[in-house]
Amino acid sequence: MRRVSTLASSMLLRAVVPRNSAAVAVHRCLLQEALYCSVAGSTRRRWFHFFPSSSRGAASLGVAGALASAACASMLLEEVYAKEQLPPELVPKDVVLYQYEACPFCNKVKAFLDYYGIPYKVVEVNPLSKKEIKWSDYKKVPILMVDGEQLVDSSDIIDKLSDKLVQQRSAHSDKTTNNEEEEKWRKWVDNHLVHILSPNIYRSTAEALESFDYITSNGNFGFTEKITVKYAGAAAMYFVSKNLKKKYNITDERAALYEAAETWMNALNGREYLGGSKPNLGDLAVFGVLRPIRYLRSGRDMVEHTRIGEWYSRMESAVGESSRIRT
């Protein structure tokens, strides 16, 4: 039992105690005492002296269990917040994204901003009037304003931000991924994956209504517009999706979605991410465009019938909480 306790203590100490901390010795002493009442000197068994001798082992194991839970929680939190952080001097001061909440290209930009911890404000554009972007010659979304500079087109936005901000940070140990591979899969997202999404989320009248319920709930609509857009938009897009199937030579939309998910998993070739142990721009592009559909019927089916679920969950943890500034 003592050998098992010692092993458990060693594992927990590595997990819980910070390595380069002046308090390491204190933490170690307290943990050893809690785990098996075995610090040196007269304090031995002091914490558990008030328990009957027959109960001290159980009490010690109870504390060990609690500490084990804390250690696991600590490690999980480290995973969740293991996103790339830019040096403060590189972070733009004022970033504003003009978007549609359900737009896959807008979500691709947000995935990049979230992963690199770049704070940004959001202006939700009304897709009917587009009054929020009347000031711009560019009449599509996303539009990203970065310290007064207008950036447009999701891939160009990410390229410019990456060149300006990310490439200036200190190179990390995982910068060995082939840039050609990364670029290949970013183009695959823009030229193939996004075209499969609409036929899937508008596949049936029920799914079209589900999608427009999400769109109108998160979009910039007045009350009357919301009702009109939900039902008229769902009906319109149901028929538009049939034309999109023909345009992109899609016979079975679900089969095409599953095939795309499996194609992506094959590209990973056993790696946690396309970027190796950390996501690269290819990972962020795929994750970004899938994020709006993940919890719709089509996204749930995709996760249930393909291998993509574990990768997607890793990406959710890696990207972490949104950097969006709520006003």
Q: Give 147's DSSP letter.
A: T
CA–CA gap between residue 157 and residue 69 (Å, rounded): 42
Would you call 3 helix, strand, or coil by DSSP?
helix
Q: Which of 106, 120, 214, 312 is catalytic?
A: 106
Task: Look at residues 148, 65, 72, 161 and name the one whose alpha carbon lies nearest to residue 110.
Answer: 161
Annotated catalytic residue 48: no
Q: Which of 98, 103, 214, 221 is catalytic?
A: 103
Q: Which of 105, 116, 202, 238 is catalytic?
A: 105
Q: Which of 48, 98, 100, 273 is catalytic?
A: 100
C-beta neighbour count of 240 within 10 angstroms: 15
Task: Look at residues 165, 163, 171, 173 and name the one whose alpha carbon lies nearest to residue 276.
Answer: 173
Which residues face 149 on adjacent strands?
146
Compute the CA torsion angle 197, 317, 281, 257 (nearest 10 deg): -20
Give the tokens for residue 290: 């899938």
Annotated catalytic residue 100: yes
Contact call for residues 99 and 123 (beta carbons, < 8 A): yes
Contact call for residues 106 and 113 (beta carbons, < 8 A): no
Catalytic center residues: 100, 103, 105-106
